[in-house]
Chain A
Amino acid sequence: MSPTRVGALVLRQFYLLRGSPARLLPMFAWVAIDIVLWGFITRYLNTVAPPGFNFVPRLLGAVLLWDFLTRVMHGVSTAFFEDVWSRNFLNFFATPLSVEEYIVGLVVTSIATSAVGLAVMLVLAAAAFGLSYAVYGAMLLPFLLVLFVFGIALGVFGAALVLRLGPAAEWLIWPVPAMVSPFAGVFYPLATMPAWMQAVARAIPASYVFEGMRAIVSGGSVSAAPLAAGAVLAILYVLLAGWFFLRVYRRAVRTGLIARYSAESLS
């Protein structure tokens, strides 16, 4: 693993962001809009809810955490799509760059871009709507870590899928967070869902985070075992996603797809 080559991939993404407001803006604009929208919704709900019940840490906190996961996933997939859009695979993979370094480059890029989005959300939610992170205490960090690892897994899996199916599969990847969210119990307890959805939810690491978050804001505590299960699942998925990407890449090298990857050749 060469830090210089991984750094070269991150540098490319930095150059792209630096020179393009259209790329820079979505890093914080959409999450800011989400926080503003849900901030006002929670403020309104607080006026109609029984006294003492606060929606801010339940709903706004959930939106913040879910948007963070979405940013992480899109951080990986957008960095990958840049190479799809510019038909750059032949140039990259004809260098000494290994596929493992390429994946790490995507992940490091996502860390940087999602950190920007997270910082904007944290500041806005606290300053404009009084979301206090002290409510979550020390659990905020493990919550974010589980969501981060799961977001990386989704991003790498999505990238592998597009590499396998062709550029048009990009449209399958963007809505993945929206497809997962009903099962992850972002806004409601898992017990609200029918049994079959709860079974699916147990396989989604994020569901353990949101259950834990709700337990904390209800005055309870998070038991370590379910959150650890979420963490183990997230790690398992990231390993599986990496394995899947490697497998798809090797097939692409065997068939010559890497050399002639383009919209024309696949779609």
Chain B
Amino acid sequence: MTGLRKAYGATAAVDDVSFRVARKETVGLLGPNGAGKTTTINMILGVLEPDGGRIEIEGVDLAADRRMALRHTNFAAVYAPLPGNLTVEENLRVFGRLYGVRRLAERIAALLAQFDLERFRRVKCGALSSGEQTRVSLAKAMLNEPRLLLLDEPTASLDPASARDIRAGIRRFTLEGSGGVLWTSHNMREVEEVCDRVLFLSRGKILLEGDPKALPRDYGKTSLEELFITVAREPLTLEEN
């Protein structure tokens, strides 16, 4: 992403944001509510047109060839559950076809096993618990083995044990596959555990960038959570540094 910009009226939601997600890398996109994380993700997903800048996925310019670029991406977000009136298997079949997944039946079987969803195969998604729905969304997000996986607070509605399993599954995705992950979360412990690199967004701009384990120390903070709170409440003090 290079020089991404998006404004709503006079308010800049995303202001000249540039970053890269490498293969096998998990990048955390952090920031307080309204910092521009979801706006950034929506622009990468092609559902929000940037005012400026360039998004390139696997060397394909999203603006020039949306279909080809989006073949290589996928996403899961708490605010975008799959249609509740279809079963888990039906949803995966529909989205598998939309993403042009080959050997779809095999791929679905593998994902149902990976996310422990086999017993819910014929259950309507609307009848699942929020944690189970999140696992279905993640299975959908992995259908096309994306080169760029966008996860907007993927573990927000999960109990600690399920969240740990999901984190392990996504770690495996980056280690064994060839894709990268852009991850947003408000759980700083999770971010430290999962992310190779973090970007702190504040008022639409990238304020800080670095290793989540080293970054707090660099700014005189004891933890990533403390650094997050400073970004949210006193971003100017960090800009001065």
Contact = CB atoms under 8 A, between A and B. Distances in A.
A135 interface: no
A5 B84 contact: no
Contacts of A256: 8, 39, 42, 47-48
Interface string B51-94: 00000000000000011101101110101101111110010011
A263 interface: no
B83 A259 contact: no
B98 interface: yes
A25 interface: no
Contact of B49 (A97, A98, A253): A253
A73 B68 CA distance: 32
B46 interface: yes
A93 to B, nearest CB: 5
Given A258-B47, A259-B47, A97 B98 contact: yes
17 contacts: A5-B100, A8-B97, A11-B93, A15-B86, A86-B84, A90-B47, A91-B95, A94-B73, A94-B74, A95-B95, A96-B68, A97-B98, A253-B47, A253-B48, A253-B49, A259-B42, A259-B45
Contacts of B100: 2, 4-5, 96
B99 interface: yes
B97 A4 contact: yes
Interface residues of A, number: 31
A12 interface: yes
Given A12-B86, A19-B86, A98-B66, 12 more contacts: A7-B97, A8-B94, A11-B94, A12-B90, A16-B86, A86-B83, A96-B68, A96-B98, A96-B100, A253-B46, A253-B48, A256-B39
Contacts of A4: 97, 100
A4 B94 CA distance: 10
Interface of A: 2, 4-5, 7-9, 11-12, 15-16, 19-20, 82, 86-98, 253-254, 256, 258-259
Contacts of A94: 45-47, 70, 73-75
A15 B84 contact: no
Contacts of B87: 15, 19
A19 B90 CA distance: 11
A167 to B, nearest CB: 15
Which of B42, B85, B95, B124 counts the most A-chain CB atoms under 10 A from its CB?
A: B85
B98 A95 contact: yes
A10 to B, nearest CB: 10
Nearest to A253: B49
Nearest to B96: A8
Contacts of A20: 85
B99 A96 contact: yes
Which of B80, B93, B94, B140 counts the most A-chain CB atoms under 10 A from its CB?
A: B94
Given A11-B97, A253-B49, A259-B42, A96 B85 contact: no
Contacts of A98: 66-67
Contacts of B75: 94
